[in-house]
Amino acid sequence: MTAPTPPAPGTAGLPSPVPQRPHVTEAARLGADPDAVQACLDEFDAVLARRAQRRLAEARGLLGELAARDGEPLDPVLLEAEAERVCEQEDQERLAAELRRWVTPDAAAVRQARAHRDAALERCCQAAVEVLAILPRSLAEFEPGAKRRHAAERAVRDGLARREAEVTRLLEAAAWWRRRGLRRELAGLHRDRLAAEQRLRVAAASLAAVRVRQAQRAGWLVRPDVAEMLAKGAAALRELAARAGDGGAATAELAAVDRLRPGPGRAGSGAS
């Protein structure tokens, strides 16, 4: 089974389900610079890439230690290939967890999964994971921190702006001997507010970048071909887990979709 994987957003002849520059809209809503939003997207992706490189280095080091402990000869080429295989397997497990956590299969997909053999279910799972693998990487893990930082910087900026307005009113009504101190305070407030506004723009760009990426992913996930494949894969994954004997927790919510419901004339007939 081959997964109907979605093309890259720029593929000719296939319109993207999201705007080509969605960060422009989100940036405007948060008061951020669109170019800064794109820069934050690039930086988030760079963080994920560096994390992947660290994982690869750790896997390489651990495999090297195991080989040395067992007295096996170290072949750098084979060691690198094995480390990459380990990291790829971890990525597959992460994507499978995302599939299981975020995709709820419909009743038709559940019934089809229950009728398939294990090998067919595994192919469905693999196809769905391959779909998720080509989507832009989720930035959901960064959203809580980005939201806290944005809210904190906005609160600081607003507090400074209120105090600046208050000191301005006091200065206008103050006697001459108080004005020097008020002018000095006003200048400091103005300087601090400008700095706070700059930090707020950076925080807004970071938060907008996270939301843009989630919107990009959501745009692909609602494509009918992608949604269908993910639903089949999620149903297959949960059915495999149930057959493996995980206590039924993975498919508890799926059992209800085939449960007979009483008709209008039988409502409550089974109540005790």
pLDDT at 208: 93
Burial code of 179-209, b = ≥16 C-beta within 10 A, e = fewer?
eeebeeebeebeebbeebbebbbbbbbbbbb
Place of tokens 């907008």: 208
pLDDT at 32: 80
Given a contact cutoff of 8 angstroms between Cβ atoms, the answer to whether 6 and 225 are in contact is: yes
User: Is position 258 within any domain?
Assistant: no
Predicted TM-score of the model (pTM)? 0.71
User: Is position 122 within any domain?
Assistant: yes
User: Is position 139 within any domain?
Assistant: yes
The 8-class DSSP code of residue 34 comes to H
User: Is position 232 within any domain?
Assistant: yes
pLDDT at 21: 56
How many structural domains is the chain composed of?
1
Q: Tokens for 161?
A: 């702006």
Closest CA to 130 of 120, 118, 122, 119: 122
Cα separation, 232 vs 125, in Å, equals 8
Its domain, for residue 158, covers 22-250
For the chain, counts of helices (H) and of strands (E):
9, 0
User: Is position 129 within any domain?
Assistant: yes
Cα three-residue angle 196-202-203, rounded to 5 degrees:
85
User: Is position 256 within any domain?
Assistant: no
Given a contact cutoff of 8 angstroms between Cβ atoms, the answer to whether 20 and 219 are in contact is: no
Given a contact cutoff of 8 angstroms between Cβ atoms, the answer to whether 129 and 92 are in contact is: yes
User: Is position 138 within any domain?
Assistant: yes
Cα separation, 60 vs 67, in Å, equals 11
Cα separation, 230 vs 99, in Å, equals 7
User: Mean pLDDT for each 10-residue chunk of the chain (272 residues)?
Assistant: 42 42 67 88 94 94 89 85 92 88 86 90 91 88 96 97 95 90 95 96 94 87 87 90 67 40 39 38
User: Is position 16 within any domain?
Assistant: no
